[in-house]
């Protein structure tokens, strides 16, 4: 009885620590994405590094943590850089489901993370395409492919690679895998 | 796909739907989502920092990335500056020309019976021994030898040599020049001639009857005698009265209104092609 109480207290401490660490990391990443990268537009597009961070959490932590981060980060990204209606929380949650199914089958490593980024960027450009279709209705598809979608794919892939190490740093103090319980 | 069926995921999905719908509905009704607004406020300083860092990085990278473009822009700016400088010079020339035309108009108004032709000085004397100017007007413009030349200040000289589209003007300070004059105060008649010694000072001599009443400061006008100068043109002022030791005659030194020591500053002149009462030419 006494032992169970000690475990619960440790879990709660770890949960608080996790929320603080992931909260801070996502806050910085989202801000970086909405200010630094949206200003620079490397390769001609803003990279979605938040999505890369979620891939990292999926690989280095678990789906539950990734799902919570997805909803919160989606809302935060929309708050910083989008006009309602915007569907980022739902999109990120969908990504967690799809990419989570893939990440279950691969070993957690940087190479695996890079491989996981391939479907990630495809999902990202699909979401951009859908958004453009919703907001613009008609647009030149070929031109959009060259000027928006391909640069976004490249930019997201390249700039999400270092995010893996950021998430790995975040995961270290919270002893990931198995402690994120509700 | 087991994860999708978990209670945890369903809760997350519901929260996500609420987070998508609430701002959309509030925005549709023109309301502000307080949570979004708060997040934006908190993130603002961080966004500002991010933007500044991005600007710095962009500036640093663009130095290398846009080198050719910057060089091209630099050349274009240099060309623009050069063009503006040329324009400024043109404006200055136009300004001078405008001032000259005002003077020209003034002379015309003062002498309505004169047929005037404006001319530009294209060269000054080659040496230091004569006050001869070359003007860009010649026989094709109606200029003839011995025509008087004036400026807005007064009499300058006469046309001593004329070509097709140029003429040479000899100043009244030259010893070859002789002008019939009178003084304004007492109407004393005399002759103003160039003097080899006074020429260097830009002055000339006036000879007159020794009994005549002449004072320093009297103004000297052309009398219209002779075949060159018309009557009533201001020539200069009496500067001093001296006795010529050789001839025992009283002579007055006249300081012309035209500054012969600063002819370089003179841009244009007026050639009097004709006037009422002209006897020769």
What is the tens place of the pLDDT at every residue in B32-42? 778 877 887 88
Distance of CA A43 to the CA centre of its chain: 20
Residue A72 belongs to some domain of the structure: yes
CA distance A39 to chain B (A): 6
pLDDT of residue B127: 56
User: Looking at residue B172, what DSSP letter applies?
Assistant: T
Residue A147 belongs to some domain of the structure: yes
CA distances from B53 to A32, B59, B66, B72, B171 (A): 10, 10, 19, 27, 74
Q: What is the mean pLDDT of residues B183-196?
A: 87
Considering only A4-8, A178-182, B56-60, B274-278, which range has the smallest mean pLDDT? A178-182
Q: Where are the alpha helices (DSSP H) in chain B?
A: 7-28, 34-65, 67-110, 196-199
Closest among A126, A29, A151 to B46, alpha carbons compared:
A29
Distance of CA B164 to the CA centre of its chain: 29
Considering only A158-162, B63-67, B75-79, B198-202, which range has the smallest mean pLDDT? B63-67
The C-alpha R_g of chain A, in whole angstroms, comes to: 17
Low-confidence ranges of chain A (pLDDT < 70): 1-7, 82-84, 175-182
Q: Do B24 and A85 touch (CB under 8 A)?
A: yes
> pLDDT exceeding 90 applies to what percent of chain B?
20
CA distance B7 to chain A (A): 11
A26 interfaces chain B, CB cutoff of 8 Å: no
Residue A179 belongs to some domain of the structure: no
pLDDT of residue B126: 53
pLDDT higher at B71 or B85: B85
Residue A181 belongs to some domain of the structure: no
A90 interfaces chain B, CB cutoff of 8 Å: yes
| Contact (Cβ atoms closer than 8 angstroms) between residue A50 and residue A25 | no
pLDDT higher at A10 or B160: B160
Closest among A144, A147, A160 to A45, alpha carbons compared:
A147
Closest among B151, B149, B201 to B177, alpha carbons compared:
B149
Question: What is the number of helices (H) and of strands (E) in chain B?
Answer: 4, 12
> How many structural domains comprise chain A?
1
| Cα–Cα dist B228/B273, whole Å | 11
pLDDT of residue A179: 42
pLDDT of residue B268: 82
pLDDT at B63 over 50: yes
Provide the residue range defining the domain that includes A136: 2-174
Mutate to test the interface with A, among B25, B33, B46 (most CBs of A within 10 A): B46
pLDDT at B281 over 50: no
Q: What is the CATH number that goes with domain B113-274?
A: 2.40.10.340
User: Looking at residue A155, what DSSP letter applies?
Assistant: H
CA distance A107 to chain B (A): 18
Q: What's the ipTM?
A: 0.83
- What's the predicted TM-score (pTM) here? 0.54
| Cα–Cα dist B32/B53, whole Å | 30
pLDDT of residue B23: 84
B237 DSSP β-pair partners: B219, B255
A80 interfaces chain B, CB cutoff of 8 Å: yes
Please count the residue pairs, one from chain A and one from chain B, whose beta carbons lie less than 8 angstroms apart: 96
Q: Which tokens belong to B63?
A: 């130095």
| Cα–Cα dist B206/A90, whole Å | 109
Helix (H, G, I), strand (E, B) or coil at B217: coil
Chain position carrying tokens 């001319």? B119
Tens digits of residue pLDDT in A29-39:
988 888 888 87
B17 to chain A: which residues are within 8 Å by CB? 90
CA distance B55 to chain A (A): 8
| Cα–Cα dist B154/B168, whole Å | 18
Instruction: Give the mean pLDDT of chain B.
Output: 84
Angle A88-103/A49-60 helices, nearest 10 degrees? 40
pLDDT of residue A180: 44
């Amino acid at each position: 009885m006494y032992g169970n109480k000690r475990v619960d207290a440790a879990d709660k401490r770890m949960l608080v620590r996790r929320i603080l660490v992931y909260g801070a990391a996502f806050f910085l990443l989202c801000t970086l994405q909405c200010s630094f990268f949206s200003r620079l537009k490397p390769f001609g597009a803003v990279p979605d590094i938040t999505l890369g961070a979620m891939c990292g959490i999926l690989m280095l932590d678990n789906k539950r943590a990734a799902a919570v981060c997805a909803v919160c980060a989606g809302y935060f990204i929309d708050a910083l850089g989008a006009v309602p209606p915007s569907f980022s929380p739902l999109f990120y949650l969908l990504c967690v489901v799809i990419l989570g199914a893939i990440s279950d089958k691969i070993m957690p490593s940087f190479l695996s993370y890079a491989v996981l980024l391939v479907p990630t960027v495809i999902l990202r450009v699909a979401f951009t395409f859908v958004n453009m279709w919703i907001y613009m209705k008609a647009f030149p598809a070929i031109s959009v492919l060259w000027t928006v979608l391909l640069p976004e794919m490249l930019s997201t892939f390249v700039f999400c690679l270092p995010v893996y190490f950021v998430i790995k740093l975040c995961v270290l103090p919270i002893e990931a895998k198995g402690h994120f319980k509700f | 796909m087991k994860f999708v069926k978990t209670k945890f995921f369903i809760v997350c999905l519901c929260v996500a739907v609420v987070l998508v719908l609430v701002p959309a509905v509030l925005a549709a009704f023109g309301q502000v989502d307080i949570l979004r607004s708060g997040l934006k406020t908190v993130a603002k300083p961080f966004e500002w920092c991010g933007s500044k860092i991005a600007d710095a990085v962009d500036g640093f990278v663009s130095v290398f990335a846009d080198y050719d473009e910057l060089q091209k822009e630099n050349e274009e700016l240099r060309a623009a500056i050069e063009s503006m400088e040329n324009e400024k010079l043109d404006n200055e020339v136009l300004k001078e020309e405008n001032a000259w035309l005002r003077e020209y108009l003034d002379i015309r108004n003062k002498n309505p019976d004169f047929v005037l032709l404006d001319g530009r000085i294209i060269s000054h004397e080659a040496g230091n021994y004569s006050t001869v100017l070359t003007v860009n007007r010649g026989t094709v413009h109606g200029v003839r030898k011995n025509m008087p030349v004036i400026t807005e200040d007064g009499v300058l000289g006469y046309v001593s040599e004329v070509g097709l589209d140029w003429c040479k003007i000899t100043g009244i300070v030259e010893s070859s020049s002789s002008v019939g004059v009178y003084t304004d105060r007492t109407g004393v008649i005399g002759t103003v001639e160039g003097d080899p010694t006074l020429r260097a000072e830009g002055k000339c001599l006036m000879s007159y009857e020794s009994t005549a009443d002449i004072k320093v400061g009297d103004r000297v006008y052309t009398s219209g005698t002779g075949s060159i100068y018309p009557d009533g043109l201001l020539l200069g002022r009496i500067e001093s009265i001296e006795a010529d030791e050789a001839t025992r005659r009283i002579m007055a030194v006249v300081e012309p209104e035209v500054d012969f020591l600063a002819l370089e500053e003179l841009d244009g002149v007026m050639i009097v092609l004709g006037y009422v009462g002209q006897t020769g030419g």
